[in-house]
Amino acid sequence: MKKQILALPRLAVVTGLALAAGLAAEAQSTPSKIGVIEIQTAIVSTKDGQKAAAELNTKLEPRKKELDQKAAEIRDLQDRLQRGGDKMADAAKQDLARNIDAKTKIYNRDMEDARAEAEEEQRRLLQELSGKMMQVIDKYAQANGFSIILDVSNPNTPVMFASNTVNITKDIIDQYDQANPGAPAAPAKPAAQAAPQAAPVKPAPAPAKKP
């Protein structure tokens, strides 16, 4: 009986060593490759992404032209005030300055609305395509033994350095286009802009009153 009792701890030790060896072997067979991807670049660089970006730019173009026209009108009024201010009566200068200020406030408000609309449309575009993209990334990771893929386009990603050899962005773009061949090739255009590019107009300074 005494010998049997002493044998139990030895059996536990042997079993523990065998389990550890099994876990080590399993760890060696588990994929351990790490890759990085610029997910937004990948999405808008696919044929689907290029087509969606072109459609978004076309949708935003009328709003941008409208803002450009308003900005040009304000600049013309500012130029008139600066060039002819000395020859204008004080009342006329004050009226012109108030007109510039009112138009500038409307323009800047419209500009913010257009930017918000463009950003919302861009988020919708990315969300629509991200589902297909994630399926491609998952399939690619399994086929190529990746255990972790990090999105380095996110500024909050804690990645200090990544070699170009582990960047799979181009491979994922190619894989996506192969898996989704239905989209026609879009003409080369810049990615969907976050907002119309017309610059905000500063209010015109009020003309100084004569002493």
> What string of DSSP letters covers 45-105?
HSHHHHHHHHHHHHHHHHHHHHHHHHHHHHHHHHHHHHHHGGGS-HHHHHHHHHHHHHHHH
135 in any annotated domain:
yes
3-state secondary structure of 127: helix
pLDDT for the residue numbered 114: 94
**Residue from 183, 150, 111, 127 nearest 33 by CA:** 150
Instruction: Tell me if 158 is assigned to some domain.
Output: yes
Angle between helices 90-144 and 169-179 (to 10 degrees): 80
pLDDT value for 181: 84
What gap in Å lies between CA 90 and CA 196, rounded to an integer? Answer: 36
- Alpha helices of the chain — where are they, by DSSP H? 2-29, 39-45, 47-84, 90-144, 169-179
Domain with residue 53: its CATH number is: 3.30.910.20
Residue 159 domain boundaries:
32-179
- pLDDT tens column, 56-115: 999 999 999 999 999 999 999 999 888 876 778 888 888 999 999 999 999 999 999 999
In a domain, 74, yes or no: yes
- pLDDT at site 19: 38
- The pLDDT score that the predictor gives to residue 58 is 94
In a domain, 191, yes or no: no
Number of structural domains, the chain?
Answer: 1
172 in helix, strand or coil? helix
Low-confidence stretches of the chain (pLDDT beneath 50): 1-27, 185-201, 203-211
pLDDT of the residue at 30: 53
| Contacts (Cβ under 8 Å, ≥6 apart) of 128 | 52
Asked whether residue 38 is assigned to any structural domain, the reply reads yes
pLDDT at 89: 83
In a domain, 78, yes or no: yes
